[in-house]
Structure 1
Amino acid sequence: MKTVQRSLLAAGAALTVLAVAGGAVRADGPNDHAARAQDLIMANDFDEARKELGRGRVDDPAIALERARLSLYEADCDGALVVLSSPDVAKTEQGAMLADIARGCARITAATVLDEDRDQGVWIRYQDENDRALTPLIVDTVVKARDALTRDLGATWPKPTRIVVVRDLLSLSAMTGLPYESAQTTGTVAVAKWGRVTLLSPRASMHGYAWRDTMAHELTHLAVTRSTIDRAPLWLQEGVAKREEVRWREPGPFDDRPSPDAIAARGIELKLDLPLDKLGPSIAMLPSADAALVAFSEVTSFVRYFATNTPPGTLERLFAALREGKEPDAALEVASSANLKQWDTRWRAYLASKPKETLPARLSLGKERPNLRDIRERVRLAELLVGRDHPAEALTELDRLQAPAGKPPAANGGPPVDDPSYRYLRGRVLLALGGEGRTKEAEVLFQEPKEVLASYGPWWAVRGVLARVRGDGSSAETSFAEAVATDPFDLEAACEVLDAPPSASTPASTGLSAPPVTSKDPNPLCQTARAWKVPALGQD
């Protein structure tokens, strides 16, 4: 699971989560074909699971239950429902639970669109056909993430790798069994369960989220589940997934900002932390976004510390010990010669020894800024004003949020200067005003990624346009790639132009306005973004 940082224009944390599948107790009896089949299903060894089920009695409800589970893992939701309609299966607790999932899956995937790249072994089902423009990027991410996980964890991959893209949280909940209220509370955007990744469309959020890293995160969950037969404790699952979610690509400017060590230390200081072995069945089911943020930071920091302070291959040995059926503490001792309590003591001592790091204001952990409503209202007013060709008035509203002379940024309760959404809006207003001075003032707001706290698609897109105008092709290419990785259907990101409403004061020679786009536009993301008719900044 992971978080996407809050911004002025889109507050709230967005999370990804491994939802622990749960299942029948695995028996050790030599004739327990159902239990062995369930282990094989969890490990995604579907052909072997089918053979094991064939050795059981046809009239055994436990065998029928695992046949239904296998159908769910192979994305045959209707087939699972047929099996689960048997009275002997339906009356069991596991049967009722699987039937709920199968019904939700069948309902959500009815009349959906399937894309499949057989050469790369990637299978993608879209609830909304408008998301199909993502296919090349999804395939690219899956292939690179699988390679990285094989390199780092020794993961093997039965194919195809299944991805389902849904349009809203209700569909995500129905497809996976994650309670809808939990998804809302913690901002869950993806779930790794039932042998697949179910991903919320980036279009479901105002300005998207880091959806490519999210897929890598969820694929890590599938890899760990397969390697351990779903026996990894939650702290290990989430900690490894957070470590791996960025290792499929080149390092980015926001990979460690803010530091999980700093958030974990602050959470411990405020007594918001939980023991690593007491996180519950899912971080997505914690009571608040702040609790989820601290828990994520805990496991991220801990696993990073563990991996750094053990020899290469320790994680693989830990997975192997768990797969053999050892309890987490015993598996840790086999792999690293210390148990969880000993590692936890070392990790906390390491955190305490580090210099204290001040967290950004937006990560106040339980304390919402008292003037946040006023900021949101002024920001929205500025959006509306520039969208109706009143950039001067929009700038006046934004200026009222600035810190008084001689005081630290945001000392008067204004927006933090590291907020990319604020920089984007102010920059767009300045560009709409036009003129050499205003353009240069705007350019300053889009220069260094290290000057903003988190990735934000529109900020990257404008940065790319400005880089292209000044002839910096490399910076433009990088910026647009980052924009699409966060907000692929934003007009500015997808079409690589500024799509703001025209302003009479904006010189045509700036090259910033959008050229006419015809139906022959070769960019499918741009075609979809325009067909989707996303309103330009400030438009209704």
Structure 2
Amino acid sequence: SSIIAISSASRSHRAAFSRGTVFWARAVIMAMMCVCLLGAMHAQAMRIEKSESQGSDDGAVLIDRWKGEDARVWLERQLAQEPDNPKWRFLLSQALFYLGRYADALAAVDALIEDVPHPQFHGFRGFIAQTIASTETLTLIESEHFRIFVDTDRDAALVPYIQDVLEQSYQRLGKHFGLFPKEKILVEVFPTTGTFYPASSLSARDIEVSGAIGICKFNKIMLLSPRNLARGYRWTDAISHEYLHYLIVHLSANEAPIWLHEGIAKYFEDAWRLPESSWLSRRTESLLAHALANDSFVGFKNMEPSLVKLDTTYQVQLGYAEAASVIDFIIHSMGSKGLARILQDLSEAHGDGATGAISRVMGYEFEQFEKEWRQFLQSKQLQEHQGVRLPRFTLKEGDQIPAEDLRAEIESTTARMHTRLGDRLRQRGRDRAAAREYNRALDKDPYSPYLLNKLASALMTQQRWSSALQYLERARMLAPDYVTTYTNLGRLHVALQAYEKARAALWEAVQINPFDPLIHQYLAESYRQLGMDDQAQQEQQLFERLQGSR
């Protein structure tokens, strides 16, 4: 599943943020963005020395808690009394930025620079201008509770679905956490890595190693379009994951540490579509079982300042597994109300962070909490499953899908040899012989979803539907986010006239990579046969649009 970054961190952890983008607060631009490296100029621009701060810091505190409108009102009231105060003027430009009013933020900091040409202000101005440039092709789509900016040309395949995913997240997660924000939440979907990197501060390394394809900071959600990855990613869960970070910031007054943030977001990221969390996947269970057996946990302290910055994909995945398992333990011990009480305690700013909040809510010291959590994991009798693989997030080069790397898809050298032979046979129309070669490859690498789909596709060409279905179901079990499996399942069920099953499989494909025209072709047919004419027309139009752009 996707690994998503969160850019908020508790003020109690800010001392650890010696590098990275820094957040302006209490008239001192304090470090809060735990995954960001926007560069030295931007970092410098967002620091104001404490010696320059005078008077109350309510405006900075409000910005720190992502209460941009309240901060704007407070700061404008201060400026009515002290119109030339550079502290209030700078904070106002930041409050406007947090409201998504980029042009107003730019105008405010420009006016400030005219009077006080400080290099720090120039740096912040550069970041605002860069954000404006990164979002200039985006069009506003407004739903009841969200302001969604998306490139409706390049990312047309997202447009029919993104509002529903966010609104379902709003309702279902609101019931879980008792928070239904009144302000409309800003969401930006970036069409290219070139626009995403400067706006989010994430890098190609963060995406391909850590899977950080979304981030929540600056009081908004930012997401890289799944069109940029070779096989897409579960973008629907990703955007819901980021919305969870937004809720956590507001529920905890931005005091939650990274491990608590990521644990909650990971545990509940699929709650918008499922009645119960599926956080304990085969991969997650295997990672936790291995860590228990070898005493090789990442550890809460090592998750700071960001899981995304851990060295390897394995460490990142294990960190998310650990964090989610802690949430599972809290809910098992205290119920969902216990989790809400921890966030409420954090919002009261007792000064001892999550360790103190957990101690007060759970009734024992944090060291005991860690022991109880490990015993809880031991009691689950977790197992390492065969064939579990770490996720791969391969970026496209431009709009080109990278050539298939059989070494990445298939572990066995002999299996790769049989696969190449099978591909050549299929090109000659010899599907039966090709299926035999794919079977031989599977004997050597029985856990490859790539091979399972190769074999299923060859069998479907021969109309051997039941045999193909067997292999596709195995592929789905082994790799639930492998998009090709769902496309093939949709094709198979359409052929068998099982249109509701086809619709369900193809909806899974849409959640991962909606830019494949075949998905929408099969969906259009399924909806037509199910008597859902409006949906059929929508999918047909999307199919024709995507097909025409190729």
TM-score, structure 1 as length reference: 0.79
How many Å separate the matches in 1 of 2:418 and 2:100? 47
CA change 1:180–1:423 in 2 (3 A) is closer
SS in 2 for 1:471: coil
The one-character-per-residue Cα deviations of 1:362-415 (angstroms, maximum 9, x if unpaired) are 4379xx999467756865775576467564564454244132xxxxxxxx3x24
Task: Select between 173-182 and 232-241 the one with higher mean Cα deviation.
Answer: 173-182
User: Cα offset for 1:15?
Assistant: 2.1
User: Cα offset for 1:185?
Assistant: 2.6
How many Å separate the matches in 2 of 1:197 and 1:101? 17
Residue number in structure 2 paired with 1:513: none
2:146 corresponds, among 116, 122, 134, to: 122
CA change 1:122–1:320 in 2 (3 A) is same
SS in 2 for 1:165: strand
Task: Select between 51-60 and 288-297 the one with higher mean Cα deviation.
Answer: 51-60
User: Cα offset for 1:219?
Assistant: 0.3
User: Stretches of 4+ moved more than 6 A in 1?
Assistant: 31-34
Matched, 1:18 2:9: no
Residue number in structure 2 paired with 1:494: 520
How many Å separate the matches in 1 of 2:123 and 2:386? 42
Residue number in structure 1 paired with 2:370: 344
1:165 alignment partner AA: V
How many Å separate the matches in 2 of 1:37 and 1:526? 49
User: Cα offset for 1:290?
Assistant: 0.9
Residue number in structure 1 paired with 2:483: 457
Residue number in structure 1 paired with 2:133: 107
Residue number in structure 2 paired with 1:429: 458
Residue number in structure 2 paired with 1:54: 76
1:229-240 → structure 2 map (5 Å cutoff)? 229-240=253-264
User: Cα offset for 1:98?
Assistant: 4.2
Structure 2: gaps (5+ residues): 10-21, 29-49, 392-407, 526-535
**Quick check: 2:26–2:59 contact (8 Å CA) kept in 1?**
no
Matched, 1:335 2:361: yes
1:384-395 → structure 2 map (5 Å cutoff)? 386=426, 389=429, 391=431, 394-395=434-435
Identity of aligned residues (%): 20
SS in 1 for 2:334: coil
**Quick check: 1:464–1:476 contact (8 Å CA) kept in 2?**
yes
CA change 1:378–1:289 in 2 (3 A) is farther
Residue number in structure 2 paired with 1:473: 499
1:79 corresponds, among 76, 84, 104, to: 104
User: Cα offset for 1:292?
Assistant: 0.3
Residue number in structure 1 paired with 2:63: 41
SS in 1 for 2:329: helix
2:95 alignment partner AA: L
How many Å separate the matches in 2 of 1:190 and 1:61? 34
Root mean square deviation, CA, Å: 3.5
The one-character-per-residue Cα deviations of 1:340-382 (angstroms, maximum 9, x if unpaired) are 32211111122234424023334379xx999467756865775
Residue number in structure 1 paired with 2:394: none
How many Å separate the matches in 1 of 2:475 and 2:411? 27
1:523 alignment partner AA: Q
2:345 corresponds, among 318, 321, 333, to: 321
**Quick check: 1:43–1:225 contact (8 Å CA) kept in 2?**
yes
**Quick check: 1:61–1:89 contact (8 Å CA) kept in 2?**
no
Count of equivalent residues: 482
The one-character-per-residue Cα deviations of 1:446-501 (angstroms, maximum 9, x if unpaired) are 346764332322211221232233333332221121121122122232221799xx
Residue number in structure 1 paired with 2:398: none
2:324 corresponds, among 300, 305, 326, to: 300
How many Å separate the matches in 1 of 2:482 and 2:27? 49
**Quick check: 1:67–1:83 contact (8 Å CA) kept in 2?**
yes
How many Å separate the matches in 2 of 1:497 and 1:153? 34
Residue number in structure 2 paired with 1:9: none
CA change 1:389–1:467 in 2 (3 A) is same
Residue number in structure 1 paired with 2:540: 523
The one-character-per-residue Cα deviations of 1:420-456 (angstroms, maximum 9, x if unpaired) are 3332222112223x2x5x4443232234676433232
2:450 alignment partner AA: S
Flag the structure with higher helix content.
2
CA change 1:495–1:369 in 2 (3 A) is closer
Residue number in structure 2 paired with 1:512: none
Matched, 1:483 2:483: no
How many Å separate the matches in 1 of 2:459 and 2:296? 42
CA change 1:252–1:168 in 2 (3 A) is farther
How many Å separate the matches in 1 of 2:276 and 2:508? 9
2:165 corresponds, among 138, 141, 150, to: 141
Matched, 1:63 2:88: yes
The one-character-per-residue Cα deviations of 1:482-525 (angstroms, maximum 9, x if unpaired) are 121122122232221799xxxxxxxxxxxxxxxxxxx9875343
**Quick check: 1:190–1:200 contact (8 Å CA) kept in 2?**
yes
Residue number in structure 2 paired with 1:401: 441
SS in 1 for 2:223: strand
1:133-532 → structure 2 map (5 Å cutoff)? 133-251=157-275, 256-258=280-282, 260-270=284-294, 272-326=296-350, 327-328=352-353, 329-363=355-389, 371=411, 379=419, 386=426, 389=429, 391=431, 394-395=434-435, 397-403=437-443, 412=444, 414-416=445-447, 419-432=448-461, 434=462, 436=463, 438-447=464-473, 451-496=477-522, 523-532=540-549
**Quick check: 1:446–1:459 contact (8 Å CA) kept in 2?**
yes
User: Cα offset for 1:310?
Assistant: 0.9
CA change 1:132–1:371 in 2 (3 A) is closer
How many Å separate the matches in 2 of 1:381 and 1:39? 64
User: Cα offset for 1:220?
Assistant: 0.2
